Structure 1
């Protein structure tokens, strides 16, 4: 396997670790702020962070010459994915919300299969996700079918994010594509939140937590995702995404002393096998 493939997998793993940690922080912040306010603050702080990190003022002169169709679809998928996922986190246990969201990239991976031998890796990942999700929580009082619909909708947006992300990285504007997507998302969400709950936006005592979530959930993972998408196919990216719930479970076991069930142990084996299999058979995505 080429070194570029190994590097791309490393980017994905680091991205998923950051995102899983941020989801826990966001869930805690929901106790004092509504999900729409949290996602708006996250996007606003992330747009500032990313603009400065990547010195994106350099792209301003090139804006009229970009392929805006792909950029707008990419930006829209980023915005809706964030809104729907945070809405689902506000109504569902985190394990179920994360698991249902991953149906999106796994479905895209399934539809992207070109060789029959690849079905085994995607099916293993799907089986692993099914076993990893704490379905017993679905009978609890805090389960919401509306929340489940939000999570699945976020998964659909994630599939579009992967698809258009691969198109965007080929415009040769580097990380500036991410800046454009996050800034546009923040510009859409800010007036919506200002009408929905203007007082919550101005509670500056929570801005520090929102800034941390912006860094862990947007600036770091989305930048790493774009670098990974340069080298990975939709099949590889979608299958490897199933590692995220597994990473969350292992992190919880090590740091929080959370218990992993027998079925979740089997799920970890399935997901790891699928990720290793799809990684070692993968070929770099050809440049266009």
Structure 2
């Protein structure tokens, strides 16, 4: 592998690690703040960071000419994705939350397969879901059906968000999301927003979840193919489980570990199939 590609792989892995560390820090903050407040603070600080990073003030003159129907749809998906994912983190181990969220874009990819031989990836994804849930113990301490519903909902939003409509769409989406969440948090828990002693950690979460990953992804995408990017993205559930174990002392069952492996293999398989189909055309 050329040095440039190796560097791009490193950037990609660091991007995912930063994001998963941010999720662990957010979950630690849940001990003193509710998830809605944490999401709001993260989005507010992320708005500032992302505007500075993309120099988004340059598009102010173009605002009247943007496709606002698409932008509002995209922005709503970004906002809801953040709310649902953080809500799931409050009820599930981090690895399980990310694994279930990952099913959103994976399902979208699986729906596009055409050859019967590729249904092995569908089978693996179904096994992953089946093993993730402790059917024999509905009250298991490391699983919540409501949390699972939140994570799956976040996954649906993620599948929509991945259909990016331009670099500045992210800036607009995060700013609009912050503007929507601020009044909601002000009504929900106004005192929590004003506890400035937690703003530093919220800023760090925004930096690790938004600014650093997007900067590293932009660098990585200059050298990586879509197949390589998709394959590396499949590591997210594993990195989430490791981050949860190291930073949160969370432990998942052996069957849930197998479930995450099945989901990751399915993701890698469908990524290779998509690349092969694209090359064939």
Same fold (TM over 0.5): yes
Matches within 5 A, 1:139-154: 139-141=139-141, 143-154=143-154
Matches within 5 A, 1:47-66: 47-66=47-66
Summarize deviations over 1:33-54 as a string: whole Å, max 9, x none. Answer: 0100000000000000011111
How far apart are the structure 2 equivalents of 1:20 and 1:269?
Answer: 17
How far apart are the structure 2 equivalents of 1:25 and 1:279?
Answer: 30
Q: TM-score with structure 2 length normalisation?
A: 0.78
* 1:252, distance to aligned residue in structure 2 (A): 5.8
CA gap 1:197/1:255 in 2 versus in 1, 3 angstroms: closer
Q: Gaps spanning 5+ residues in structure 2: where?
A: none
Q: Is the 8 A contact 2:134 2:140 kept in 1?
A: no
How far apart are the structure 1 equivalents of 2:150 and 2:264?
Answer: 27
* 1:109, distance to aligned residue in structure 2 (A): 1.4
Summarize deviations over 1:10-37 as a string: whole Å, max 9, x none. Answer: 6654443222111111111000001000
* 1:279, distance to aligned residue in structure 2 (A): 4.5
CA gap 1:4/1:75 in 2 versus in 1, 3 angstroms: farther
How far apart are the structure 1 equivalents of 2:244 and 2:199?
Answer: 26
Q: Is the 8 A contact 2:95 2:242 kept in 1?
A: no
Q: TM-score with structure 1 length normalisation?
A: 0.77
Q: Gaps spanning 5+ residues in structure 1: where?
A: none
Q: Is the 8 A contact 2:100 2:152 kept in 1?
A: yes
Matches within 5 A, 1:90-239: 90-125=90-125, 127-128=127-128, 131=131, 139-141=139-141, 143-163=143-163, 165=164, 168-169=165-166, 174=167, 176-222=168-214, 232=226, 237=230
How far apart are the structure 2 equivalents of 1:59 and 1:29?
Answer: 34
Q: Is the 8 A contact 2:96 2:241 kept in 1?
A: no
Q: Is the 8 A contact 2:94 2:241 kept in 1?
A: no
CA gap 1:140/1:273 in 2 versus in 1, 3 angstroms: closer
CA gap 1:267/1:146 in 2 versus in 1, 3 angstroms: closer
Which SS does the other structure have where 2:33 is aligned?
coil
Q: Is the 8 A contact 1:106 1:242 kept in 2?
A: no
Which SS does the other structure have where 2:77 is aligned?
helix
Q: Is the 8 A contact 2:134 2:143 kept in 1?
A: no
Which SS does the other structure have where 2:31 is aligned?
coil
CA gap 1:155/1:257 in 2 versus in 1, 3 angstroms: closer
How far apart are the structure 2 equivalents of 1:182 and 1:119?
Answer: 36
Summarize deviations over 1:122-169 as a string: whole Å, max 9, x none. Answer: 543554565567778853357443323222211221122123x2xx03
* 1:105, distance to aligned residue in structure 2 (A): 1.6
Q: Is the 8 A contact 1:129 1:245 kept in 2?
A: no
* 1:211, distance to aligned residue in structure 2 (A): 0.6
CA RMSD of aligned residues (A): 3.8
* 1:219, distance to aligned residue in structure 2 (A): 2.5
Which SS does the other structure have where 1:48 is aligned?
helix
